[in-house]
Amino acid sequence: MQIDVYDPEMCCSTGVCGPSPDPELIRVNTLLNRLRTEGHTVNRYMLSRNPLAFSSNRDVYKALLDKGVKALPIVCVDGRVVGAGAYPADEHLIGAGSVAALQPGCG
């Protein structure tokens, strides 16, 4: 499985830094690390650091044009959008059965 995360701007690549990191970012980072250790490919992008990743993906680019940065984060699994505007729940990123029911796009 390939997971592509188009993050909003954060202080570091994961957002899990500083004296009081957001618990949601801790959850997402823990999940993505788990998926990596299980052999899945995980890519994370930030607009200021990876602008080409945002502009070269037509679904991400369109979401940014339509909603601006409020569209972020956008999470894609195997080319399908599984979350936009918020990180998806763990179960949407775990197991091939859940991925089949998600909305198309992200390519």
pLDDT digit string (tens) for the chain, length 107 residues: 899 999 998 776 666 676 777 888 888 999 999 899 989 999 999 998 999 999 999 999 999 999 999 999 999 988 888 889 999 888 877 754 344 334 445 65
| Domain presence at residue 38 | yes
pLDDT of residue 82: 84
Structural domain contains residue 107: no
15: in domain: no
Give the total number of structural domains in the chain: 1
**Long-range residue pairs from 60-63, CB within 8 A, at least 24 positions apart, any chain:** 60/6, 60/106
Domain with 78 in it:
2-10+21-100
What CATH number does residue 43 fall under?
3.40.30.10
- Which is it for strands 80-84 and 41-46: parallel, antiparallel or unpaired? unpaired
